[in-house]
Structure 1
Amino acid sequence: MDRSTMSDERALVKKLVAEHEPDEAIDYNAKLLLRLVEDILHSTSSSGHDSRDDRDEDKILQSSYNDILGMLSFKINRISCEFSYKADAHSTAVSIFEMVRNYKWDVKLVLALAAFSLTYGEIWLLACIHKTNQLAKPMAILKHLPDTLKDAGQTKPFFDALNSLFGVILNVIKCVIEFNDLPLSYITPDLAAYSTASSYIPIASYWTIRGIVACATKITSLGHLSASSAMQTESWELATFAHKLKNTLDHLRKQLDSCYSHIEKKRDDEAYRILVELFKMSHPDNMKILRALIYAKDDILPLFDGVTKKMVRIIEWKQTG
């Protein structure tokens, strides 16, 4: 990366942080919404043939989805419309950032990906049912889908590159969600990995949304890519973007892993201090000590009884004295 590019990215980060990290950022269950988006992307990558049967679980989740989408569906649809504008990728990304200005970083990313999944899901749904559904047939013709998708050999490299970019985008988003879920009580001001990740997430978010915009641009123009050379060019561009985002992901993952190591050490130190204090005290039985040593809930069988050859609860090892 040359100096001018690095300077441009630093200026962009400064602008994003100043404008898109409000003191009272709006938070939603990003993991729940991402799960719904992943269901769409998974179904499209498997050509719509999904044998998973989670009907009971779906019923439980439906009310949660209704709650969150009741407040976010309008925003998702607005972002989806933004993909149709013929502006350049940077301008489109900036416009999307304006729409999600007041949300936390992980929510911004999931909203953008959810908007794209609407467009992508619609295209694949039409592709799957246009031969048997009288409404889907003319809609697919208008989108020029039958002729585009009938040659699997020609389109396979394109969709392979697209799915590869999806994978990197999803992993970046999950990494940002993980970062936001870190227990701040174990984060100290001197933890460089945390401050580094915090300062890097805005630029990672920008390039992730740029990646989503790239996917949307390619998929909405798919009907016009009849020549194999055009398909190859689009595939190469997607692969190049996936490579750039992979570097972004590796950097974030490294910082997050350092944070996890720091938190684990803090928790170990805390557990040791608690154990030391417990041994200094007198107890009517050995339960507090055993629970501190083994750290298991009563409904779990954490101990193996060598006499009975069975797993047993901690309470069965209770001793008084």
Structure 2
Amino acid sequence: MNLLRGEQFDPCLLSSIQEDLLIMKILRIHDPNDRYKIDARQLLHVVESTMHCISPKFSDPQSNYMNSWNVEVFGLEEKLGYTIKKISHEILCKCHENGDLHEETMMLVETLGPFRWDAKVVLTLAAVVSIYGEFWLITQLVHCNSLAALTAKLKQMPKELNMITIQLKALNLLIDTMIEAANLVLDFEGLPLQQQLLDDDTIVVTKSKMYITVYWILRSSISCAYQIADFGTLKDNQVHSNSTTIAAWTLFSLVYKLSGLCNDLKEKLRTCQMQIGRKFPEKIRNLFKMSHFDNQEVLRVLFSLKNDLPLKDSSLEKYYGIQELENKVVILLLSKPELFTSEKIFYLVQRMHDHPLHKEIEGSYAILWVPIPYSQAWSLTDEMNFQFLSNSLPWFSIRQPWSLHSSVVNFIRQEWSYKDEPVMVVLSTDGVVTNLNAVDMIWLWGAKAFPFSTSKEKELWEQENRILELLIDGIDPLLTNLVEEGKHFCIYGSDNISWIKELNDTFKKIKNAGIQLEAVYVGYRNPSKDAENILDISIEDNLSVSLSTTKMKLFWLRLESIKNSVARVEQAAHYSSSLQKVLRLLDACETSNDWMIIGKGLSTDEMILKGREVQECLNLVLGMTEHVVKLGLFSAIRGAMGSPLPVKPCYHNEILPAEEGLLSEETVVCSRCNRPVEKFIVYQCNVTETAEEKQEAKID
């Protein structure tokens, strides 16, 4: 084997015509298989981590890339390790042939023909670094490990490597330059919408530079492998000769060549990035102004420009392309990598995944989690949070959210007003934004809110007529049972333990009087440490039913969502009685620390009280026990809260439509005196007499 094989120190520069011919040959050989998908960026991080172990001068990417060891490969008929091994074997075989270096490089290009440009360079680097890493592993252990010593003996490795320090330095420098060049190739291949956003001249010139750079990376890899293989055949007298210095200068010449190519490609890449940086934001904005047949183009531009399988479904442990979301309403869950608090995460799963309607419509919509960190860069903590949660949630997430283009992230922040608080942007089946934030309606109605558009939110409020049920839906089975059993119950909140005790004393008196009324304490907004003390006292004294602190948070989450949702549809309040009630409830919670809403399960009638009104109302109820037993609690309360009862009968008639009057189970209250009225049935004939009938009546 010829140690000096390869280029001399002053490499022969190819003319432009020779470069064009070389590019034509490379392109004829280049025949990528669309099924072969290798995450070149991840594999390059493994290469860099390996070189960091060999030489500390190499930066360690592991600190910023938690998942670098899990290189994702799709479509290959063999394992990635076997593919790298085959490339290593082919390179090493050429080391013993003394052939033409250019021809051997072209043969390697042909071997890598089915792979994309980024995969070509990274697979070759992985092959060379694996050879180099094995060599260094043996040399580091040769003096302290018998297996390493015996292996070094079998490979006939030199005993002393001090005299080839300059050669090792040149080898490290060349691999470092090759990694830099490979990163530039990956950066160019990762540019979005090259054909649409780049000028024709720019893309042609840049691609030509990239093809030549790929060629020299592969050629340099073969030269590196030559010298690594030579280390195992060096005689002691060669170690101390000038041949190692000359071999080192051979590598330095390649460093010089590749450095020049890197500078040229870096300049061209910067021009491409500037053009795309100017045009890509406008491209995204225009995308949402156009009509589309489906949602595929929109999702591809946002999430699938750098990755053919951008979606991760951890429940099935599979990766998917955006075609999996075709013909579906897509809910983009935008949040920081830690998403929600744990109780909110479980509640969201309950509202969407475990909802009774989920099985009926699960094929019609999909949630896609798009985590965006607070800062521009992903920290190790961000990655750990994302990996843990994305492996636990029963919906899609972006598989590599750190690879999202900065223009996409900026668009989300600016056009969709994402400010680090979780939002849910809804895309229709044809890629149109139908709701900029469906979080509140999903908290309130869950899967029932499908298709989660703003028009659906208004429709739900028009149909909503049970405020008590809306307040407690999905929080606690006990509360659900109170509704389903049609019981009278009240929900109250306060931060005043004296008021709570006084109120519960009244509840006991009401129950002792034979009046059925369940009371549920839900805490107060923004609770302090005193909240747990109040809860403990309430439970100890058995004052009323108390929710756990977690469920209290969910109650106030629902109340906050009601507030936000009502603010969006408040213009519809003039024709929605339920919205009017909600506004009164929100006012009570905002203006008083002590409030109560009282009603009956499955009923559409509720009463909202605040401050002193609560105790006054319940005290009046105690003085009307007979009326409560006869007419029902809610009707008695309405009467008690009205004007004083007149001494004489009122005799006012309340006329209701037949269907409402006969079928209603609710007690009707007189509009004048606020007392319950007795039910009578009146039949009225509205048939008009004919002329003959009138004449006959006169004769009679």
**TM band (smaller chain):** 0.7 to 0.9
- What is the CA–CA distance in structure 2 between the aligned matches of 1:217 and 1:200, rounded to whole Å? 26
Deviations along 1:129-176, one digit per CA (max 9) or x if unpaired, are: 122222211211233435242x2xx33222221111111100111111
TM-score, normalised via structure 1 length: 0.75
Structure 1 residue 26: Cα displacement? 3.1
- What is the CA–CA distance in structure 2 between the aligned matches of 1:272 and 1:112, rounded to whole Å? 40
Show the counterpart of 2:693: none
**What secondary structure, in the 3-state scheme, does the structure 2 residue paired with 1:221 have?**
helix
Does residue 136 (structure 1) correspond to residue 148 (structure 2)? The answer is yes
Report the AA paired with residue 246 of structure 2.
Answer: T
Does residue 112 (structure 1) correspond to residue 124 (structure 2)? The answer is yes
Report the AA paired with residue 116 of structure 1.
Answer: V
Does residue 208 (structure 1) correspond to residue 223 (structure 2)? The answer is no
Report the AA paired with residue 189 of structure 2.
Answer: N
Report the AA paired with residue 175 of structure 1.
Answer: L
**What secondary structure, in the 3-state scheme, does the structure 2 residue paired with 1:131 have?**
coil
Equivalent of residue 12 in structure 1, options 16, 22, 29 = 22
Report the AA paired with residue 103 of structure 1.
Answer: F
Asked if the contact 1:47/1:128 (under 8 Å) is kept, the reply is: no
Show the counterpart of 1:266: 279
- What is the CA–CA distance in structure 2 between the aligned matches of 1:75 and 1:42, rounded to whole Å? 23
Asked if the contact 1:34/1:110 (under 8 Å) is kept, the reply is: yes
Show the counterpart of 2:49: 39
Report the AA paired with residue 181 of structure 2.
Answer: V
Report the AA paired with residue 101 of structure 2.
Answer: A
Does residue 240 (structure 1) correspond to residue 248 (structure 2)? The answer is no
Report the AA paired with residue 87 of structure 2.
Answer: I
Structure 1 residue 237: Cα displacement? 0.9
Larger helix proportion of the pair: 1
Structure 1 residue 219: Cα displacement? 1.5
**Mind listing any 5+ residue stretches in structure 2 that lack a counterpart?**
1-10, 290-410, 424-566, 572-700
- What is the CA–CA distance in structure 1 between the aligned matches of 2:412 and 2:100, rounded to whole Å? 63
Question: Relative contact order (alpha carbons < 8 A, sep ≥ 6): 1 or 2 greater?
Answer: 1
- What is the CA–CA distance in structure 1 between the aligned matches of 2:77 and 2:57, rounded to whole Å? 26
Report the AA paired with residue 249 of structure 1.
Answer: C
- What is the CA–CA distance in structure 1 between the aligned matches of 2:251 and 2:88, rounded to whole Å? 20
Matches within 5 A, 1:134-173: 134-149=146-161, 151=162, 154-173=163-182
Equivalent of residue 75 in structure 1, options 76, 80, 83 = 83
Report the AA paired with residue 247 of structure 2.
Answer: E
- What is the CA–CA distance in structure 2 between the aligned matches of 1:289 and 1:42, rounded to whole Å? 36
CA RMSD of aligned residues (A): 4.0
**What secondary structure, in the 3-state scheme, does the structure 2 residue paired with 1:135 have?**
helix
Q: Percent identity?
A: 25
Moved more, 161-170 or 179-188: 179-188
Asked if the contact 2:223/2:251 (under 8 Å) is kept, the reply is: yes
Asked if the contact 1:186/1:266 (under 8 Å) is kept, the reply is: no
Count of residues paired in the alignment: 290
Equivalent of residue 263 in structure 2, options 250, 255, 264 = 250
**What secondary structure, in the 3-state scheme, does the structure 2 residue paired with 1:252 have?**
helix
Report the AA paired with residue 265 of structure 2.
Answer: L
TM-score, normalised via structure 2 length: 0.37
- What is the CA–CA distance in structure 2 between the aligned matches of 1:64 and 1:270, rounded to whole Å? 30
Equivalent of residue 193 in structure 1, options 168, 187, 202 = 202
Equivalent of residue 125 in structure 1, options 128, 137, 159 = 137
Larger strand proportion of the pair: 2
Matches within 5 A, 1:27-106: 27-46=37-56, 57=66, 61-62=69-70, 64=72, 71-84=79-92, 85=94, 86=96, 87-106=99-118
**What secondary structure, in the 3-state scheme, does the structure 2 residue paired with 1:33 have?**
helix
Structure 2 CA distance for partners of 1:260 and 1:107, relative to 1, 3 Å: same
- Deviating beyond 6 angstroms after TM superposition, the runs of 4 or more aligned structure 1 residues are 1-4, 50-54, 65-69, 271-274
Asked if the contact 1:148/1:222 (under 8 Å) is kept, the reply is: no
Asked if the contact 1:82/1:92 (under 8 Å) is kept, the reply is: no
Structure 2 CA distance for partners of 1:297 and 1:5, relative to 1, 3 Å: same
- What is the CA–CA distance in structure 2 between the aligned matches of 1:191 and 1:65, rounded to whole Å? 32
Show the counterpart of 1:281: none
Structure 2 CA distance for partners of 1:132 and 1:265, relative to 1, 3 Å: same
- What is the CA–CA distance in structure 2 between the aligned matches of 1:203 and 1:142, rounded to whole Å? 39
Show the counterpart of 1:310: none
**What secondary structure, in the 3-state scheme, does the structure 2 residue paired with 1:156 have?**
helix
**Mind listing any 5+ residue stretches in structure 1 that lack a counterpart?**
277-287, 301-318
Structure 1 residue 246: Cα displacement? 0.8
Show the counterpart of 1:227: 240
- What is the CA–CA distance in structure 1 between the aligned matches of 2:35 and 2:124, rounded to whole Å? 17
- What is the CA–CA distance in structure 2 between the aligned matches of 1:98 and 1:116, rounded to whole Å? 17
**What secondary structure, in the 3-state scheme, does the structure 1 residue paired with 2:159 have?**
helix
Asked if the contact 2:413/2:419 (under 8 Å) is kept, the reply is: no
Matches within 5 A, 1:171-186: 171-184=180-193
Asked if the contact 2:132/2:228 (under 8 Å) is kept, the reply is: yes
Moved more, 36-45 or 221-230: 221-230
Report the AA paired with residue 183 of structure 1.
Answer: P
- What is the CA–CA distance in structure 2 between the aligned matches of 1:293 and 1:52, rounded to whole Å? 33
Structure 1 residue 299: Cα displacement? 5.6
- What is the CA–CA distance in structure 1 between the aligned matches of 2:108 and 2:55, rounded to whole Å? 25
Structure 2 CA distance for partners of 1:299 and 1:119, relative to 1, 3 Å: same
- What is the CA–CA distance in structure 2 between the aligned matches of 1:26 and 1:45, rounded to whole Å? 32
Asked if the contact 1:116/1:212 (under 8 Å) is kept, the reply is: yes
Structure 1 residue 65: Cα displacement? 7.7
